[in-house]
Structure formats: C-alpha cells, structure tokens
Amino acid sequence: MVTAGDFRNGVTFDMDGSVMQVIEFQHVKPGKGAAFVRTKLRNVITGAVIEKTFSPTDKYPPAHIERREMEYLYSDGELYYFMDNETYEQTPLNADTLGDSFKFVKENTTCKILSYQGNVFGVEPPMFMELTVTEAEPGVKGDTATGATKPVTLETGVQIKVPLFVNEGDVVKVDTRTGEYLERV
C-alpha cells in the first residue's frame, strides 16, 4: 500500500478504480490542526488533471505501469505501428494515444510504450532527438542585440524557432518535452 505521506512525483496508485500519477505534491503542516498533503494528480488513462488534498495516513494500492521499449516503424493514416524489440510483434496505436511530444519522432526510433493491465495509454519518446532542418529562411541581420530567432521546418514536418545561424541541411538537437532547440550537431 502507498500512503499519502509517501507521495513523490511520478508515483502511481489506484484511487477509486482510476490509475492516478502524482505530478506535484506538497506536505503541509499548519500551526493549528492536522498535517495534510496537497497534490496535483493526472489520470494516466484519460489524461485529466485534478487537485486533491489527502491526510498523510490515507492508503491506496500501488498501480504498476509497464514500460516496454518498442521501435516506431511507420504510420498508415491514423495508425502508428510499433515493433517489440524482443518478440518482433507489431502493435498498431491510434494517433490520440501518442501525445504531443511524438511529433518530433522519426521512423526507426525506440520509444517506451506505457500500459496498465495490458491497455496501452501512452508513448514516451526519447527526451532528445537529432533532426535535419528541411526548410529555413536566411537569417536577417540587424536586430541581433538580443537572441534573435527564426522559424524552421524539421524533417518530421514540425516547425520550431532556432537561432539565425542555423541553415537548411543542418542537424539540430531538440528537447521533445518542450519542443525547444538545444544545439546544432
């Protein structure tokens, strides 16, 4: 059993038939009254985020999320196909399962497939991707007193902002969680 006093970021537990993951937590000990734990929770199946307050002695059964490494092969319309690296089985997933950070993933990339009791609910791409710039306008010199940026299109079709010195054909490193340019490779 997981007690509310043991909550940390990333802990998953079963609450009222839903699998919840702790996003933020704060242990509060007021001058008067009993201590409590203020949390922000995400339902891992639906993605809904709620705020809830717990007594530190509240107990919940742990929920074990299975993370399997699978290779992204290709997309066929709304379905995205992943292959298990050990059994070579292919698994098709709907686009709504993938999440927003998947737009930076190119084919033949290893991702983590998240499932609970055999039901896949999410995909974790690698934290960083190296992608080639396919379209970039030349940088306009002049207002470079601050860190000037320009929009470019990457090989996956997504647009990001990069510094003016990045040109078409360059390979850039992107943080998939935030979508920010990190460096030129």
Q: What is the dihedral angle through the alpha carbons of 41, 45, 46, 47, rounded to the nearest 10 degrees?
A: 40
pLDDT value at residue 159 = 92
Domains contained in the chain, CATH given? 2-60 (2.30.30.30), 66-124 (2.40.50.140), 128-184 (2.40.50.140)
> Is the separation of the CB atoms in 136 and 167 below 8 Å?
yes
User: Who's near 125: CB < 8 A, 6+ residues apart?
Assistant: 101, 102, 104, 105, 109, 111, 176
Name the β-bridge partners of 112.
69, 124
H/E element, 32: none
Exposed/middle/buried for 4, CB within 10 Å: 0-12, 13-18, 19+?
Answer: buried
Q: What is the full per-residue pLDDT of the chain (185 aa) written as tens digits?
A: 889 888 988 788 998 888 888 888 999 998 888 899 999 998 887 778 899 999 999 999 998 888 899 999 998 888 999 999 889 999 898 887 787 778 899 999 999 988 888 888 788 889 999 999 999 888 666 656 667 888 999 999 999 999 888 889 999 999 988 889 999 88
pLDDT value at residue 70 = 93
Could you tell me the pTM of the whole model?
0.71
pLDDT value at residue 154 = 93
CA angle 174/110/156 to nearest 5° reads 45
Query: DSSP characters for 91-113?
Result: EEEEHHHH-GGGGG--TTEEEEE
pLDDT value at residue 141 = 66
> Is the separation of the CB atoms in 122 and 88 below 8 Å?
no
First to last CA, the chain: 46
pLDDT value at residue 143 = 56
Q: How far apart are CA 131 and CA 172, in angstroms?
A: 6
Residue 4, SS3 per DSSP: helix
